[in-house]
Chain A
Amino acid sequence: MTVKRGNGLRIVVLVLGFAFLYIPIISLVVYSFNASSLVTVWGGFSLKWYKALLNDNVLLSAAWLSLRIAALTATASVAIGTWAGYVLARMGRFRGFSLYVAMISAPLVVPEVVLGISMLLLFVEMGNMFGWPAGRGAFTIWAGHVMFCTAYVVVIVQSRLRELDRSLEEAAMDLGATPLRVFFSITLPIISPALLAAWLLAFTLSLDDVVIAAFLSGPGSTTLPLEVFSRVRLGLKPEVNALATILIGLVAVGMLIARMVQNRIERAQPRDGH
């Protein structure tokens, strides 16, 4: 077949492309084991930056705060995003549909500084009017993260709902189940793998956000990315390499497990048709 022509070129493109994507990550990992405190000079293998990381209480408590915010963000975003995505995929066209789509998809593209300042002003004005929230801190960071992570959850949920076979839901309705019952006993179980993926994505996004957290954080609520950012803008910090390597390791292991589970599920059940 003529389409197969240019296989050599294809491999060159793929190798160059993936080298660009992966060399920075590999360099982070390699230099985290560097004995020299000059990050760019190789001074032999050492685990000393990992030891330094373990004794770095500021970084560790920031990490703990970030993990808690990320878990709460992911949970709330999945709950709200599932509802909003279900409306988008199943409710047909309704009045104000375009505005609905625009409001949902805005956080996906709008620059983060815009999201940050607008959420901050919302909380400040609310504080002025109702006396709540009184100040900035972990709660406002969480609320801001829910706002932008929900958009990603909606994208995942609605695309999963669209490729889903509707006849199951319709059969259940024919048999007299209420819409709520159909949603909880048919739709939700079927889309649950997508919800897990959405939860993990929201968790990751929250754990990585610098800009929105900078606007919404208060005294005593420094998240991990804020702490890392304030350190690395002054230059290279080997303990950050060690932290990065741990995070990359966790993500890689998590993704591989998720992929294996997904493959197993796909092999066990035939794909749902259309």
Chain B
Amino acid sequence: MARLHSRLSARQRVLAILPPYVWLVLISLVPFLLVVKISFSEMEFGIPPYTPLAEFEEGVLRLTLSLRGYMMLLSDSLYVATYLNSLKMAAITTVCCILIGYPLAYCIARSNPRTRNFLLFAVVLPFWTSLLLRVYAWMGILRNDGLLNNVLMALGIIDSPLEIYRTDLAVYIGLVYAYLPFFILPLYAHLVKLDERLLEAAYDLGARPWRAFLSVTLPLSRNGVIAGAMLVFIPTVGEYVIPELLGGANTLMIGRIMWTEFFNNTDWPMAAAVTCVMVLLLLVPLALFQYSGVRELEERR
């Protein structure tokens, strides 16, 4: 039997594809191009607070491309340090999610089907409650007079409270906590599909569990790890809420800088330039994510 799309007339196909396509271009491509455009304009007091790029006056078309934002990004070492620090924090968060999430996803996928469904439900459940409120919960746990320090001091493990709240460590804890489910879900989907007979064959051939894991399970779940890692890494680079609530004043993250430029300094062109460079830095991971997504679609075809 022929596939549905091959039975539609060319006109019907266009009618089906075009409206969502146009909508997506308008709502996702055009806005980003506007960010690029405004990153080249000058700041101005007014509404909107930036100058137009092209002006038509007395028969003369004047195009002004301001590189102020980009020059500042390159010359001020604070911006460079912030970008590098954001990438570092995102990378460490991703590694932590892999180290915690892989064993967890593996144990869930290896449980019997009933337990497995229940455990997966339990991983997803926190995702349905507000992230903002869950990050707020960590404030209560990590503060000097918070739950963690109270418990540790009551147990006599420490004498004076650990300084975690408002440090980078607190931000790492918050980031790993918030993004762990995003890593576990795609990885789980790969692990649960894994044919157990392959593992049994490896054992029959005398492989030890570790060896079987390294040469069978790990390579077969590679795409899941990549997809999950990108789902953690990319949004973490630009994260704002978590470093703002858990980090200290010197926790440099690019999302915070961009926020300050936009809301506190009302420097929209600068905020746009910061955004453009952030996206530029994320192009490789974004392409990786996109590639794994398209491949996934094609494999299932």
Contact = CB atoms under 8 A, between A and B. Distances in A.
Interface of A: 1-3, 5-6, 10, 13-14, 17-18, 20-25, 27-28, 31, 38-41, 80, 83-84, 86-88, 90-92, 94, 96, 98, 100-114, 117-119, 121-122, 124-125, 128, 147, 162, 166-167, 169-170, 173-174, 179, 201, 204, 207-208, 210-211, 214-215, 225, 228-229, 232-233, 235-236, 240-241, 243-244, 247-248, 251-252, 255, 259
Contact of B128 (A96, A147, A240, A255): A255
A109 B136 contact: no
12 contacts: A84-B24, A88-B297, A101-B293, A103-B29, A108-B231, A109-B234, A162-B300, A173-B7, A179-B4, A208-B132, A211-B241, A235-B139
Nearest to A159: B300
Nearest to B245: A233
Nearest to A5: B209
Nearest to A85: B20
A14 B101 CA distance: 10
B126 A17 contact: no
Given A113-B240, A170-B4, A13 B104 contact: yes
B34 A121 contact: yes
B20 A87 contact: yes
A176 B212 CA distance: 53
Given A105-B290, A211-B240, A84 B129 contact: no
A122 B34 contact: yes
A101 B297 contact: yes
A259 B111 CA distance: 20
Nearest to A143: B27
A5 B133 CA distance: 39
A75 B206 CA distance: 56
Given A13-B103, A21-B126, A251-B128, A27 B147 contact: yes
B113 interface: no
Given A17-B107, A22-B126, A121-B31, 15 more contacts: A3-B200, A21-B126, A25-B129, A40-B143, A94-B17, A101-B297, A109-B234, A111-B278, A113-B255, A122-B27, A179-B12, A208-B132, A215-B262, A247-B129, A251-B129
A111 B256 CA distance: 12
A3 B4 contact: no
Contacts of A102: 290
A111 B234 contact: yes
A3 B245 contact: no
A90 B5 contact: yes
Contact of A14 (B28, B107, B180, B230): B107
A38 B271 CA distance: 38
B137 A28 contact: yes
B248 to A, nearest CB: 13
Nearest to A228: B132
A28 B293 contact: no
A167 B1 CA distance: 9
Contact of A13 (B7, B107, B234): B107
B6 A92 contact: yes
Contacts of A1: 200
B4 A247 contact: no
Contact of A229 (B30, B126, B137, B241): B241
B38 interface: yes
B46 to A, nearest CB: 11
A23 B289 contact: no
Contacts of B20: 80, 83-84, 87
A107 B12 CA distance: 28
Interface string B122-145: 110110111111101111110101
B31 A103 contact: no
A31 B187 CA distance: 34
Given A27-B140, A117-B262, A170-B1, A83 B134 contact: no
A124 to B, nearest CB: 5
B21 interface: yes
A14 B119 contact: yes
B239 A121 contact: no
B32 A118 contact: yes
A25 B240 CA distance: 21
Contacts of B17: 87, 91, 94
A101 B291 CA distance: 10
Interface string B277-299: 01100100010011001100100
Rank and list the top 6 A-B pairs by shortest CB-CB distance, nearest first. Answer: A111-B238, A118-B31, A24-B137, A84-B20, A122-B31, A17-B104
B272 interface: yes
Contacts of A87: 16-17, 20-21
A91 B234 contact: no
A10 B28 contact: no
B107 A113 contact: no
Contacts of B108: 14
Contacts of B180: 20-21
B230 A109 contact: yes
A50 B123 CA distance: 28
B259 A103 contact: no
A122 B126 contact: no
